[in-house]
Amino acid sequence: MYKVFIQNRPIFFISEKEIKKHHGIFVHEKFAITDQVGLTDLLTSLPTSIFLNILCEKPQETMELFFENHQKVEAAGGIVKRKEKYLFIKRNGLWDIPKGKLENNETPETGALREIEEECGISNFNIDKHIITTYHTYEYKGVPTLKKTYWFSFKYEGPKKGTPQLEEGITKIAWKKKEEMNKILENTYASIADVIHAYFI
């Protein structure tokens, strides 16, 4: 199964054997590939409670074919835990998790560490484990782009004071308790909500 967010709405690429785990509208892959514009219009017109599923013989191959005309970008970031609080940033008015594009020949783990340091102004934290990998689309200078983001968890024992990277649209960094996650979820991106759920569940 592959889940990709288009305009903050998820589309699922699933195999026949995964049908029982999903609900909503099911579309065969050949129709999805031949009418991508119509499929995207359908996705954005559906109520948020109804999901769109693409039935595929090989979900990964179909997903890659569906987005073959998109520029591909890889990024990495993560949730940093200090004592019993977690690091979040305010970017463009929404709560977010520090992350950014990978540089040439950079591993996801190294990229996540670098991006957190740059965006939050903290250092000397240790990687714990991989949480989840997400996909979402956006336009960059008019070019449709598919971003694959690797998410990790980190442990940190240093000072909580940091410095938001203003040039990246980050206006605030904050350490939040687990009990505050519902407020975060009310004002964040759908893909970030997936990371939060995967981390805490």
What does the pLDDT look like over 17-46, one tens digit per residue?
A: 999 999 999 999 999 999 888 998 999 899
114 pLDDT higher than 90: yes
Class of domain 72-200: alpha beta
Interatomic CA distance for residues 44 and 47, integer angstroms: 8
Q: For tokens 């999805």, what's the residue?
A: 32
**Assigned token pair, 7:** 């305009």
Q: Residue 157 in contact with residue 128, Cβ under 8 Å? A: no
How far is residue 100's CA from residue 168's CA, in Å, rounded to a whole number? 10
CA atoms of 76 and 130, how far apart (whole Å): 10
Distance CA 137, CA 140 (A): 10
Which pLDDT tens digit goes with each residue over 57-73? Answer: 999 999 999 999 999 99
Where residue 140 falls among pLDDT bands split at 50, 70, 90? confident
The residue ranges of every structural domain in the chain are 2-66, 72-200
Q: Are strands 143-156 and 85-91 parallel, antiparallel or unpaired?
A: unpaired
| Three-class SS state of 147 | strand
Amino acid at residue number 26: F
Can you point out the beta strands (E) in the chain?
A: 2-6, 9-14, 25-28, 52-55, 71-82, 85-91, 94-96, 99-101, 125-140, 143-156, 170-177
Tell the residue number behind the tokens 């595929």, with chain if given. Answer: 56
7 Rama class: left (phi>0) / alpha (psi -120 to 50) / beta? left
Mean pLDDT of the chain: 95
Q: What is the CA radius of gyration of the chain?
A: 18
Q: What does residue 86 show for φ and ψ, rounded to 5 degrees?
A: -130, 145
pLDDT value at residue 19: 92
